[in-house]
Amino acid sequence: MNVAIQVKDLTKSFADLIAVNHISFEIKQGEIFGLLGPNGAGKTTTISMLATMQKPTAGSALIQGKDIQKDEDGVRRSIGIVFQDQSLDEELTAAENMDFHGRLYRIPPDIRKQRIDELLRLVELYERRNDLVKTFSGGMRRRLEIARGLLHHPLVLFLDEPTLGLDPQTRNHLWQYIASLSKEKNITIILTTHYMEEADRLCDRVAIIDHGTIIALDTPQNLKDGIGGDIISIKTPDLNTALQVLSEPWMERVELHNDEVRICLHSAEQHISDVITLLRQYHVQIHSVSVHKPTLEDVFLAYTGKTIREQESDRKEMMRRHFMMRRH
């Protein structure tokens, strides 16, 4: 397998914060690689550096063997990028947006025309090709941007939050589309997301990123297996007693989160009666018990002690305080 992207100690720091802190990873050709993390974790900054939009403070990266700092044009020619925010010209039609892109990447006219038609059919916008983009819905714009990103046949496609703000149906549709794309054209796809299901369903491997560092990197399955096969959550008012009681060798990990005790373990079905017996013995009240397979959310929680949503609201709180302090 060829290596498509090689990142070594990539770092980006701004005046008073380190957005990306010495991250390293490799992505194989044809792989779908996910950067999963809360908003502000450094995902978009990483993508911006790899796409030559921002200069790294330290470290290096090769894309298709081309250095992101020494060979900007080479990198730009081999990548396609779909930005988090829209980057279409709304006053132009779908076909004109595509044509503009094709010309910028110097695709010869006959090939350009043929590929534009082909791609617009692929994303089901061919019928609307002569309509102005400003009449398009959010999902249609996203599809158009993905089609545009593919027009110059990039070997690597960056998707920055590709399904942000889309309805579930469109999101599902896009996922199928992205998956088939990587399979059929053997394009390496690197996507950022803060949707757990998205990373889980779509990505071959996921890097969990928080505060600018990669805290875990593996296939979604291995990540989930790594924290134990199952999770038993118990709601109880006697949290402390429960924590003391629950320390059997077959429990991989017992942790407190919000008003719940969570037990990570293998084969929960066999052990659930033991858990309940134990708690009963010590007269611990039980409000509810649930068993579920770990999700990437649980993985994130296991590594950071917080869910992604909590991490995001913490960051907002920090920002708010920061601004309040500056005002005083």
Partner 1 sequence: MDIIYTIWLRSMTRYVRSKSRIVGSISMPLFFLLFLGFGLNSVVKIPGLGENYMQFLIPGMVAMSVLFTSVFSGIQIIWDKQFGFLKETLVAPVTRMEIMLGQTFGGATTAVIQGILIMVISLFLGLKVQGAGGFLIALGFMIIIGISFTAFGIAIASRMEDMTGFQLIMNFVIFPIFGLSGALFPISSLPAWLLPITMFDPLTYGVEGIRYGLTGVSQVHPHLCFSVIGGFACAMTVIGAFLFRKISL
Binding residues for partner 1, rule: CB under 8 A, are: 51-53, 72-73, 76-77, 81, 83, 85-92, 96, 100-101, 103-106
Nearer to partner 1, 62 or 196 (CB): 62
User: With helix as H, strand as E and coil as C, how does the chain read?
Assistant: CCEEEEEEEEEEEECCEEEEEEEEEEEECCCEEEEECCCCCCHHHHHHHHCCCCCCCEEEEEECCEECCCCHHHHHHHEEEECCCCCCCCCCEHHHHHHHHHHHCCCCHHHHHHHHHHHHHHCCCHHHCCCEHHHCCHHHHHHHHHHHHHCCCCCEEEEECCCCCCCHHHHHHHHHHHHHHHHHHCCEEEEEECCHHHHHHHCCEEEEEECCEEEEEECHHHHHHHCCCEEEEEECCCHHHHHHHCCCCCEEEEEEECCEEEEEECCHHHHHHHHHHHHHHCCCCCCEEEEECCCHHHHHHHHHCCCHHHHHHHHHHHHHHHHHHHHC
Nearer to partner 1, 3 or 92 (CB): 92
Least distance in Å: CB of 126 to partner 1?
Answer: 20
Nearer to partner 1, 103 or 309 (CB): 103
Least distance in Å: CB of 144 to partner 1?
Answer: 12
Least distance in Å: CB of 71 to partner 1?
Answer: 10
Least distance in Å: CB of 246 to partner 1?
Answer: 51
Least distance in Å: CB of 316 to partner 1?
Answer: 23
Least distance in Å: CB of 88 to partner 1?
Answer: 7
Nearer to partner 1, 89 or 248 (CB): 89
Nearer to partner 1, 70 or 103 (CB): 103
Least distance in Å: CB of 39 to partner 1?
Answer: 18
Nearer to partner 1, 14 or 323 (CB): 14
For residue 33 the two structure tokens come to 């690689």
Nearer to partner 1, 72 or 117 (CB): 72
